[in-house]
Structure 1
């Protein structure tokens, strides 16, 4: 719960800082994109944070196509977790995948507990 609040506060603070700089076309576009990201995180009941760049996929496994890659440290709106393909990387291994607005990410790449810091009761 505290990670989600902190992530949301950081996003709101980052948006405010972007608005304090000189307002150029590039800054305005970046600010609009940042606000869209904030809205996406706020729309979901949880926020998760990848500790490295992470592939977002259509389903809970590497056999599903890649939708996009989310950068490390960027909070993502999350809904629930499910079991899928077991992933092993950086000394960690589990079969938990977190459902985002955009798709699924392996919890192995998310900060927090084995569920990507979602509560164990948030199963899809």
Structure 2
């Protein structure tokens, strides 16, 4: 059986939608309270995380590193991976996992989902 290049592209695209789900305007829009970043901030990374309250974005996985921005409550943001860093305790949660976004790191304590902000175990940096 031969499959044309266009058919292969369509099958690959369909597979990506099946794995990742459809991309909608709701989950593609991302904004920063420091500067508008647009949909590219979500689309540029393989995962999407969402904070349940406004969270500071840092240069590294520690509250002692420079603040480079923030993500408002409920705004999706593109994420690459998770790593261990400073232990943060807030709102009754404690953990030492930080998620690397397009623009820096955020503590997973402030993200919806599990202890990794919904990223899979295999997404370790």
Q: TM-score, normalised by structure 1?
A: 0.74
Aligned pairs, how many? 100
**Separation (CA, whole Å) in 2 of partners of 1:86 and 1:45:** 25
1:59 aligns with 2:29: no
**Separation (CA, whole Å) in 2 of partners of 1:5 and 1:67:** 30
Q: CA RMSD in A?
A: 2.0
Distance 1:5 1:73, change over 3 A: farther
**Separation (CA, whole Å) in 1 of partners of 2:99 and 2:27:** 20
Q: Which residue of 1 aligns with 2:77?
A: 76
Deviant stretches of 4+, over 2 Å: none
Gaps of 5+ in 2: 1-19, 30-35
Q: Which residue of 2 aligns with 1:100?
A: 101
Distance 1:79 1:112, change over 3 A: same
Do the aligned residues in 1 keep the contact of 2:82 with 2:116 (CA within 8 Å)? yes
Q: TM-score, normalised by structure 2?
A: 0.73
Q: Which residue of 2 aligns with 1:44?
A: 45
Gaps of 5+ in 1: 15-32
Distance 1:100 1:91, change over 3 A: same
Please report how far the alpha carbon of residue 119 of structure 1 lies from its aligned counterpart in structure 2 after TM superposition. 0.3
Match of 2:123, SS? coil
Match of 2:42, SS? helix
Please report how far the alpha carbon of residue 5 of structure 1 lies from its aligned counterpart in structure 2 after TM superposition. 4.3
